[in-house]
């Protein structure tokens, strides 16, 4: 179902580190409103849903996040 290839979609060249951008990216991925938090909320909510269709939908959404 999943194929993991460790390569970038676009080439990236970093000339100097940017601390402000790093802090912004960190909050987007790991903050309270970040991608990881959203994915975990979807995956945790699926355990309380009574119908299999809704469980499948929340699983799909959680794995895409």
For residue 57, is it within any domain? yes
Residue 47: give the domain boundaries: 39-65
For residue 28, is it within any domain? no
Given this model, what pLDDT does residue 19 score? Answer: 92
**Number of structural domains, the chain?**
1
Given this model, what pLDDT does residue 11 score? Answer: 85
- Predicted confidence (pLDDT) per residue in 4-48, tens digit: 677 778 888 889 999 998 888 887 777 777 788 888 888 888 888
Helix axes 35-45, 19-30, angle to 10 degrees: 10
- Residue 49: burial class (beta carbons within 10 Å; 0-12, 13-18, 19+): middle
């Amino acid at each position: 179902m999943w194929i993991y290839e460790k390569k970038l979609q676009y080439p990236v060249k970093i000339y100097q580190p940017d601390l402000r951008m790093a802090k912004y990216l960190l909050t987007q991925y790991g903050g309270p409103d970040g991608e990881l938090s959203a994915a975990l909320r979807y995956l945790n909510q699926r355990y309380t849903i009574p119908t299999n269709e809704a469980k499948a939908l929340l699983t799909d959404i959680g794995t895409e996040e």
